[in-house]
Structure 1
Amino acid sequence: MRPTPASMLLLVAWAAVGALALAGVAPMAAWWWTAAGLAALAGLDAVLLRLQPTPTVERRLPEALPVGHGREVELQLASPRRQRLDVFDLHPAGWPAEGLPRRVRLVPGQAAVLRYRIDAAARGLAEFAGTQLRMASPLRLWTQSRVVGSPRHVRVYPDFAPLARLALLSAEQASRVVGAHVRRRRGEGTDFQQMREYRVGDSLRRIDWKATARARKLVSREYQEERNQQVLLVVDTGRRMLASEGGLSHFDHALNAALVVSWLGLRQGDAVGLMAGGGASRWVPPRRGTGALDALLRASYDLQPEAVATDYLALAGELARRQPRRALVMLVTNVRDEDSEELLAAVRLLQRRHLVCVASLREQVLDATLDVREVADLDAAVTLGATAHYLRQRAAAHDTLRQHGVLTLDVTPADLPAALVERYLAVKRDGLL
């Protein structure tokens, strides 16, 4: 319980009476009577405040939130007495919020509705500890803070908002929205898709003569890439993925891109799984169907990279043990020159059974450093030279992987979703798996 400015004004008035008494203008008894009256008034007001009923608060918000997106939270407050109070919801620390704190007047028999917007700043299990109410006494001499409501836990998932938008599109349209350059080969593939009218350029072997006789016009069979294959997204959770760009860590960029590829793979009829290793580990075996994406989201929402070195050989050994069937393994990491030998050994181990693609994240600041047109001083020259040397070493490590038949991507986090989708579709189109 804290005094208000009104209490301070009463103390000033009491002090003024005391000054008058010392000056002989007023009797000393007036000062004592004033002190007794103010103390009784303040005490009564404090007792009345403590006897005030605590309003009830009901919070409404989704069970799950996407990271980096604003959502509306609704608070409903009710009280059996007329009250005026300040409301602050105890949302997770570090989450930007708009519309708090708020002053609310409660009327008996009516629920007051308060809405505010909040941005989920980080993935994981977040806690809303309760709602803090600052209540004023009837005479406004005191305020008291009370925390009401039970704690509420909310799961903050990777950004699934793009997946919701892509769900309204076909697989090919979604690929183009992501930014992948899709090249189609008409009539290729091994799985039958549909019958359609003959087009100039169709192979004569694709013509269905029975259907042609019934329709009295040329009808071709159209095939699609083979379905029911397996795709495994492997995301590094080691120290290489702690770098941050655009408000998200490289790991978050990698996870978001993996979810986009997973969604597309499921739409293509493939089984999709997820493996995380290097720091925190997680395993979701490949599966098909609409529930597969939910399983990936639930398994990955609380994953975070750790400041440890990634053991690529151990990761490859674990993957080989868990995944006996041939699959497209897409490893997202940040390849450095000092890791090239161990990474190559791990990839060669996986290549005995799987088709391996390594996506190496490149920091955008490296490209920006090389784009500098003028070198003003020695420090800038050293920075430019060191960056160019580092990128040459990095390119050499990538070339070594390519020489051993490893599909290798060198991309910035912003370009990662399109690059992974494009490579996945190319593998399907060319029948590499």
Structure 2
Amino acid sequence: MTTNTTTDVRTTIGESQPDGDSDTAESADSTVVDSATRPTNRWTGVTAVALLFGAVGILVTAPALLLASVVGIAYAAYARIGRAPDPVLSIARELEADDPEPGEQIRATVRIRNEGDELLPDLRLVDGVPAELVVTENVPRHGTALRPGETETFSYTVTARRGRHEFEPAIVVARGFTGAVERVQRVRVDTEFRCSPAATAVDVPLRSLTVPLTGRVETAVGGEGLEFYATREYRRGDPLSRIDWNRWVRGDDLTTVTFREERSATVMLVVDTRAAAYRRPDETARHAVDRSVEAATAALDALVEGGNSVGIASFGPRRCWLPPGSGPDHRATARRRLTIDPAFAPTPPESSMSLLRVHIRRFRSRLPPDSQVLLFAPLCDDDIVRVARLLQADGHPVTVVSPDPTGRDTPGGRLAAAERSVRVSTLREAGVRVVDWPPGESLAATTAASQRRWSP
């Protein structure tokens, strides 16, 4: 995993400046995305009120009102001559994370230094925390005043989640003494970190479709193996160690013991990455695609360890396809794809899947003929149900691992949960195995419970 832990930036309004001295470990150039001034409307109505006081003071001959009018007009004139400052800042962001795992707390520290010659009486900064990271301690914003050469530091804590996370541009707001006008700029500070899924293998039982290579998928075929399968009539050339000598001693004919063969399988791990799959029970919970990628990674580890040939694919507008393979190098490549490939990004795609039928047809044509499919999908709509049934009809045994993204606290959530239950039942009636994975429960426990319900 790669972590860019520290970034240094020096900016002026409208242009980038060369980096200055910094005590940070690394530095990178900055880019001012945009810069603009805008009125704050802080003094709105002061002129009108002052003139009103003056008019009333003249009519009723009240010196106090006339004095208040003069003071108000003076403040209004003062506000009009105010201007937004031109800050020259050095901003550094540091992440205290070498190799974070999902759920780990990461402390982010931001340093702001006034490199210019002008006093900044009112400076505010909002850090660009990635959308999928939840701030759990303090806040990613800070307000201060900075004299020339002065440095201010603030920090906050976020919870790491799977994937590649790039920080958004920081928003800097600078106001002068009057506060009538402010300068706003968005400054991109290139900082990112990657969080790989936890290395936890979960054995999802495969279907009987196998290839004639040694593996761990039990078959209904007698041969080499460890578990007793049946006995058959002795044939010339059978190993002596496989002869049932006990039966021969009892006077029966010679018989040979056979064992249940364990073969390898070709498996495609398919993750539903359409925008419809990025659902979550509430705003702070993990969305279904994140949980699906976690489950796919766990299944990948178990399947490769079992000697199976495994590929990965996304089903969505952002495409990823890794043909089936085996071995440690292929496993590392697949894990890296699941971590950093844009197809499995923590944020939903901006575009929707157009020409769904064409996409389904192309997807079906790429599947190896002897493969079975582990589909990771929250079953949020009927389209993905149709895909699973078509793959099953094509001769690819399908097992669906479905993280439940629905909530039960609102009428809309309960309706969505009822519709999803109907889709689960539809797939099971079509012969598709479904692992219904509720939030708050481990995948291993859910898989074990589902396996007990499946017929052998």
Q: Place the TM-score, normalised by the shorter chain, in its bin.
A: 0.5 to 0.7
Residue aligned with 2:443, SS:
helix
Residue aligned with 2:187, SS:
coil
Q: Which structure is higher in helix share?
A: 1
| Cα distance in 2 for residues equivalent to 1:29 and 1:393 | 76
Matched, 1:255 2:281: no
Match of 2:394 in 1: 349
The one of 409, 415, 418 equivalent to 2:444 is 418
Match of 1:301 in 2: 344
| Cα distance in 2 for residues equivalent to 1:30 and 1:365 | 64
Show CA shifts across 1:279-321 (max 9, x none).
6543233451534311222223337488779969964763553
Matched, 1:284 2:325: no
Matches within 5 A, 1:192-203: none
Matched, 1:359 2:379: no
| Cα distance in 2 for residues equivalent to 1:270 and 1:71 | 36
- Structure 1 residues 34 and 279: alpha-carbon distance in aligned structure 2, compared to 1, 3 A threshold: closer
Match of 2:235 in 1: none
- Structure 1 residues 349 and 42: alpha-carbon distance in aligned structure 2, compared to 1, 3 A threshold: closer
For structure 2, list consecutive stretches of 5 or more residues without a partner in the other structure.
1-38, 206-212, 216-225, 229-239, 242-260
The one of 241, 265, 269 equivalent to 1:233 is 269
Show CA shifts across 1:134-156 (max 9, x none).
4231xxx3254333453357779
The one of 58, 76, 86 equivalent to 2:111 is 76
Contact kept? 1:136, 1:142, Cα under 8 Å: yes
What amino acid is aligned across from residue 336 of structure 2 in structure 1? D
| Cα distance in 2 for residues equivalent to 1:38 and 1:342 | 69
Residue aligned with 2:175, SS:
strand
Contact kept? 2:313, 2:321, Cα under 8 Å: yes
The one of 142, 159, 171 equivalent to 1:131 is 171
Contact kept? 2:404, 2:438, Cα under 8 Å: yes
- Structure 1 residues 4 and 17: alpha-carbon distance in aligned structure 2, compared to 1, 3 A threshold: same
In the alignment of these two chains, the number of paired residues is: 347
| Cα distance in 2 for residues equivalent to 1:116 and 1:233 | 37
| Cα distance in 2 for residues equivalent to 1:342 and 1:418 | 25
What amino acid is aligned across from residue 91 of structure 2 in structure 1? V
CA deviation after TM superposition for structure 1 residue 19, in Å: 5.6
The range that moved more, 251-260 or 66-75, is: 66-75
Show CA shifts across 1:64-99 (max 9, x none).
998887644332211134433242326369676542
CA deviation after TM superposition for structure 1 residue 276, in Å: 2.1
| Cα distance in 2 for residues equivalent to 1:90 and 1:347 | 48
Matches within 5 A, 1:102-251: 102-118=142-158, 128-137=168-177, 141-148=178-185, 150-152=187-189, 160=196, 163=198, 166=199, 174-175=200-201, 231-237=267-273, 241=277, 244-245=280-281, 247-251=285-289
Contact kept? 2:126, 2:142, Cα under 8 Å: no
- Structure 1 residues 64 and 86: alpha-carbon distance in aligned structure 2, compared to 1, 3 A threshold: farther
Matches within 5 A, 1:391-406: 395=425, 397-401=427-431
Contact kept? 1:312, 1:346, Cα under 8 Å: no
The one of 375, 396, 409 equivalent to 2:434 is 409
Residue aligned with 1:418, SS:
helix
Match of 1:55 in 2: 89
CA deviation after TM superposition for structure 1 residue 409, in Å: 3.0
| Cα distance in 1 for residues equivalent to 2:64 and 2:435 | 89
- Structure 1 residues 156 and 409: alpha-carbon distance in aligned structure 2, compared to 1, 3 A threshold: farther
Match of 1:375 in 2: none
| Cα distance in 2 for residues equivalent to 1:9 and 1:126 | 44
Q: Which structure is higher in strand share?
A: 2
Residue aligned with 1:109, SS:
coil
CA deviation after TM superposition for structure 1 residue 230, in Å: 5.1
The range that moved more, 85-94 or 117-126, is: 117-126
Matches within 5 A, 1:328-347: 328-333=372-377, 334=379, 343-347=388-392
| Cα distance in 1 for residues equivalent to 2:60 and 2:332 | 87
- Structure 1 residues 20 and 295: alpha-carbon distance in aligned structure 2, compared to 1, 3 A threshold: same
| Cα distance in 2 for residues equivalent to 1:278 and 1:102 | 39
| Cα distance in 2 for residues equivalent to 1:179 and 1:265 | 7
| Cα distance in 1 for residues equivalent to 2:63 and 2:380 | 86
What amino acid is aligned across from residue 434 of structure 2 in structure 1? L
CA deviation after TM superposition for structure 1 residue 359, in Å: 1.5
| Cα distance in 2 for residues equivalent to 1:23 and 1:341 | 82
CA deviation after TM superposition for structure 1 residue 397, in Å: 4.5
Show CA shifts across 1:183-236 (max 9, x none).
xxxxxx969xxxxxxxxx9x998xxxxxxxxxxxxxxxxxxx999975420123
Contact kept? 1:360, 1:411, Cα under 8 Å: yes
CA deviation after TM superposition for structure 1 residue 256, in Å: 2.4
Contact kept? 1:57, 1:149, Cα under 8 Å: no
Contact kept? 2:111, 2:151, Cα under 8 Å: yes
- Structure 1 residues 413 and 16: alpha-carbon distance in aligned structure 2, compared to 1, 3 A threshold: same
- Structure 1 residues 89 and 396: alpha-carbon distance in aligned structure 2, compared to 1, 3 A threshold: closer
- Structure 1 residues 269 and 32: alpha-carbon distance in aligned structure 2, compared to 1, 3 A threshold: same
- Structure 1 residues 22 and 101: alpha-carbon distance in aligned structure 2, compared to 1, 3 A threshold: farther
Q: Percent identity?
A: 15
Contact kept? 1:87, 1:133, Cα under 8 Å: yes
- Structure 1 residues 88 and 120: alpha-carbon distance in aligned structure 2, compared to 1, 3 A threshold: farther
**TM-score scaled to structure 2, two decimals?**
0.53
Matches within 5 A, 1:357-396: 357-359=398-400, 361=402, 395=425
Contact kept? 1:233, 1:273, Cα under 8 Å: yes
What amino acid is aligned across from residue 124 of structure 2 in structure 1? V
